[in-house]
Amino acid sequence: MTVRAAVFRLGGLLVALGLLLLVCLLSIAVGVESIPLGTVWDALVSGAVDYDSKVIVDLRLPRTLVGLAVGTALGLAGALMQALTRNPLADPGILGVNAGAACAVVFAVGFLGVTAPLSYVWFAFLGAAFASLVVYLLGFRGSTGPVRLALAGTAVSAVLGGLTSTVLVRDAATLEVVRLWQVGSLAGRDLSVVGQLAPFLVVGLVVALCMAAPLNALALGDELGSALGARIGLTRVLSGIAVILLCGTATAIAGPIGFVGLVVPHAVRIVSGPDQRWLMAYSMVAAPVLLVGADIVGRFIVRPGELEVGVMTAFLGAPLFIMLVRSRKRVRL
């Protein structure tokens, strides 16, 4: 890589970081009650106790932090999945990981009486792991192309979704708990939950970033990759674990949110190029920009109510997914 390209990419990353900061400030400032940025700054720094600071500290700040954590996790997981499966259509939503996590959480809430997010995160992991394993076993066949995996993911999601609804139909109490979570939202999530789940996120993050170099080698193909010193099996297993940690935690915190992991790596690849190290760095920054941004827009679309971010990302992401499918170059149909 030339020095100029490196400077260009670093500059781009800095711009993205600036964008992230801006979006976060906006997320704290705007909403049903908009607060001037100066007041936001005062509230964050000085710790005043008036009405505005209460809104900021109790509602908007947690929401923004949740968006940051979930967005980072989903973006990174998406990039990792696409590299791991060499599949441009890979996304936690499409490959059934979200459905697995959701199904396991519903079973935990319904049958085991689990209600604290810290307890059901384990079920989210379990469900995510189970679903991704099944989809991977059913759908992954080396060079058979991206479609098979997407179909396997959809099929497994359909079965898991049906199971979830079957439980919910029988059990009104669980439905009451789960239906607000099932839309996928950043609002109303307890910040202490994010704190408690942070270790999982951090481990997933670190493992994912360590996989960047080996995944670069694997992108050349299994044989060439292993000739370059990458350990194929180990890389796959560790990447899989990272995906499950990241998606499981994100889903446990915010509910199933689709398409962020799909859209972001494709969008940033234009600037970052195919190098996994840059791609992951960019995805980590750009995904929370998208998620928090979508959350802000969702506050204004159906005023005085709010549109959950899960609905927003589906409506932003699905058209892009369809565009990808239509461009024959990207997805070899």
Partner 1 sequence: MVPGRPVRLWGGRVSVRVQRRPVLVTIALALGLAVVFVVSLMVGDYPIAADRVLLALAGDGERLDRFFVLDVRLPRLLLAMTIGAALALAGAIFQRLSGNALGSPDIVGFNDGAATGALLVSLALSGAAVSAPLGAVLGGLVAAVLIYTLSYRGGVHGLRLILVGIGVSAMLASVRAYLISRSDLTVAQGALAWLIGNLNGLGWSQAQPVIIGVVSSMLVLALLSRRLGLLEMGDDRVAALGVPVQRTQVLLLLIAVSLTAFAVAYSGPIQFIALAAPQLARRLARTAGSALVTTALLGALLLASADLVAQRLFAPMQIPVGAATLVIGGAYLVWLLRGEQRAGRV
Q: Does 87 bind partner 1 (CB under 8 A)?
A: no
Q: Which residue in the set 16, 43, 77, 94 belongs to the binding site for partner 1 (CB under 8 A)? A: 94
The number of C-alpha atoms within 13 Å of 286 and in the hemisphere containing its C-beta is: 27
Provide the phi-psi class of 30: left if phi over 0, else alpha when psi is between -120 and 50, else beta: beta
Q: Which residue in the set 44, 55, 57, 183 belongs to the binding site for partner 1 (CB under 8 A)? A: 183
Q: Which is nearer to partner 1, 65 or 134 (CB)?
A: 134
Burial of 277 per CB tally in 10 Å (0-12, 13-18, 19+) = middle
User: What is the residue type of 122?
Assistant: W
Q: Which is nearer to partner 1, 59 or 183 (CB)?
A: 183
Rounded CA separation 212/118 (Å): 29
Q: Which is nearer to partner 1, 204 or 293 (CB)?
A: 293
- The number of beta carbons lying within 10 Å of the beta carbon of residue 242 is 25
Q: Does 298 bind partner 1 (CB under 8 A)?
A: no
User: Under 8 Å CB-to-CB from 43, ≥6 apart: which residues?
Assistant: 35, 52, 53, 56, 57
Rounded CA separation 238/282 (Å): 21
Site for partner 1 in 131-160 (CB under 8 A): 138-139, 141, 144, 147-148, 150-152, 154-156, 158-159
Q: Does 54 bind partner 1 (CB under 8 A)?
A: no
Q: Which residue in the set 53, 276, 285, 308 belongs to the binding site for partner 1 (CB under 8 A)? A: 308
- Mapped onto helix, strand or coil, the DSSP state of residue 184 is coil
User: Contacts with partner 1: how many residues (CB under 8 A)?
Assistant: 49
Can you give the binding site for partner 1, defined by CB under 8 A?
89, 93-94, 138-139, 141, 144, 147-148, 150-152, 154-156, 158-159, 161-163, 165-166, 168-169, 172, 175-176, 179-180, 182-184, 258-259, 307-308, 310-311, 314-315, 317-319, 321-322, 325-326, 331, 333
